[in-house]
Amino acid sequence: MSAATPTEQKKSGGLLGNLIFNIVLPVLILSKFSTNDYLGPVWGLVIALCFPVGFGLYELYKSGKVNFFSVVGIISVLLTGGMSLLQLDPKYIAIKEAAVPGVIGVLVLFSQQTKFHLIKSMLLNAQLLNFDKLNAALEKKQTTAQFEEKLNTTNQLLAGSFFLSSILNYLLAKWVLVSAPGTAAYNEELGRMTALSYPVIVLPMMVLMMAAMWYLFSQIGRLTGEDVEQFLQ
């Protein structure tokens, strides 16, 4: 068995950390240790939410730059915790769960009208494509305008994935959160919602995002007449 490269170790470590601190530990505490025999509903909720918030802040500190999605994730967790501690009706949690990705979807659509085009920014930041080489090939084929249209279409597909997440988030919260906040039963339901968020919400979003990227890369090949691998960093 060959050893993993440093890059592979970093990626697997990041994914494992995400799963442990954002899913496994919060779900375990909310589901098993929020009864009066252990932490109680309030401290169980507070400690469970400390893990994703702490991990998010650590990731921001480690990267050395502000990541919009990380910041939104931290704010979303804090809102969930605040609303739960204030014992607001669970319907407000459902509205918040729908509002966060919904607002992001609107911002994604709006970004294509600005210089901060989200898809282009993502590709540049991830250093996936050699844009100088790509732009030269597009200019040679006189297909630069068509490529901008394909970028906008990809941006719209990405926005669609957030709108799908908004709908699924709302339905999941309405289905799972039925107990009164401030109780062990509510914490257990919050843990169940967190556990179900990956298969019910994250996976469909990932499929849509991958489809959007596949569409863009296929259009690059069509518009340049060259293999897309020629433009990968």
* pLDDT one-digit tens code per residue, 174-211: 999 999 999 999 999 999 998 998 888 888 888 888 89
Q: CA 182, CA 154: separation in Å to the nearest integer? A: 43
For range 37-52, the mean pLDDT: 92
Both tokens of 33, joined, read: 């240790």
Residue 88 in this model has a pLDDT that exceeds 50: yes
* pLDDT one-digit tens code per residue, 151-164: 889 889 989 999 99
Q: Which of the residue ranges 44-58, 59-73, 182-196 would you say has the lowest mean pLDDT?
A: 59-73
User: What pLDDT does residue 9 have?
Assistant: 40
Residue 65 in this model has a pLDDT that exceeds 80: no
Q: Hey, where are the domains in the chain? A: 6-231
* pLDDT one-digit tens code per residue, 92-145: 999 999 999 999 899 888 888 877 777 777 766 556 777 788 888 889 889 989
User: What pLDDT does residue 124 have?
Assistant: 60
Catalogue the long-range contacts made by 46-52 (C-beta closer than 8 Å, 24 or more residues apart).
Answer: 46/81, 46/85, 48/187, 48/191, 49/77, 49/78, 49/80, 49/81, 51/21, 51/22, 51/25, 51/26, 52/21, 52/22, 52/26, 52/77
Q: CA 38, CA 48: separation in Å to the nearest integer? A: 13
What angle, rounded to 10 degrees, do the helices at 203-224 and 131-141 form? 50
Tokens 């294509």, residue located: 112
Both tokens of 141, joined, read: 């084929």
The CA dihedral of 134, 220, 211, 5, to the nearest 10 degrees, is: -40
- The secondary structure of residue 226, as a DSSP letter, is S
Residue with the bigger pLDDT between 44 and 1: it is 44
- Percent of the chain at pLDDT > 70 equals 90
Closest CA to 184 of 87, 46, 41: 41
Give the pTM.
0.81
Residue with the bigger pLDDT between 172 and 130: it is 172
User: What pLDDT does residue 49 have?
Assistant: 92
What Rg, from alpha-carbon coordinates, does the chain have? 21
Both tokens of 209, joined, read: 């995002």
Both tokens of 168, joined, read: 């699924």
Mean pLDDT (the chain, rounded): 84
